[in-house]
């Protein structure tokens, strides 16, 4: 257990191993670690940014959704208004049309009735004349008694 040349040898061996570590072991490990550290920092930064933009997108999305809903409600309301208006218009139009039809029908009917009445009047006058001439057995001048016949026909 004396101190001897072992001490010097060990100091040299020590130096050799420290040199090997200094030259070949330490740098690659450290550079890998540093590189990863940088990458992770960048990744974290990117994640934070993504988070922020997600938040922003969420806000935009909510805003736009709200707007769209409002618009849709507007459109529905407008459509409702418009449809009721159209309905109203159609109703009014139809009523007018119906009235018109009824009016023209009743007019036609009246005309027809008048015409018939006129015809009947004429026929009746000739029947009356014929009947009367038969009764009095005497020719009556139609022209002379036109007034009387007309009066009679009007009284019918």
86 touching another protein, by CB under 8 A: no
Give the chain's radius of gyration (CA, Å).
Answer: 60
21 touching another protein, by CB under 8 A: yes
CA distance 109 to 116: 10
Token duo for residue 89? 């218009």
Contacts with another protein in 102-141 (CB under 8 A)? none
Contact string 39-58 vs another protein (x = CB under 8 A): x-------------------
Nearest distance, CB of residue 60 and another protein, angstroms: 32
Q: Which residues contact 152 (CB under 8 A, 6 or more apart)?
A: 125, 128
Q: Which residues contact 153 (CB under 8 A, 6 or more apart)?
A: 121, 124, 125, 128
Tell me which stretch binds another protein (CB under 8 A): 23-31, 55-63, 113-121, 122-130: 23-31
What letter does residue 144 receive in the DSSP assignment? T
Site residues (CB under 8 A) for another protein?
1-11, 13-15, 17-18, 20-22, 24-26, 28-30, 32-33, 35-36, 38-39
């Amino acid at each position: 257990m004396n101190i001897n040349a072992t001490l010097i040898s060990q100091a040299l061996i020590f130096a050799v191993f420290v040199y090997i570590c200094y030259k070949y072991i330490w740098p690659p490990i450290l550079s890998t670690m540093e590189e990863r550290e940088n990458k992770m920092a960048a990744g974290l930064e990117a994640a934070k940014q993504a988070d922020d933009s997600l938040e922003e997108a969420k806000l935009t999305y909510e805003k736009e959704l709200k707007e769209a809903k409002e618009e849709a409600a507007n459109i529905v309301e407008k459509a409702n208004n418009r449809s009721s208006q159209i309905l109203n218009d159609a109703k009014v139009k139809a009523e007018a049309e119906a009235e018109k039809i009824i009016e023209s029908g009743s007019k036609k009917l009246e005309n027809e009735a008048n015409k018939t009445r006129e015809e009947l009047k004429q026929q009746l006058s000739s029947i009356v004349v014929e009947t009367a001439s038969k009764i009095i057995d005497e020719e009556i001048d139609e022209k002379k008694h036109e007034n009387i016949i007309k009066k009679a026909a009007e009284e019918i």
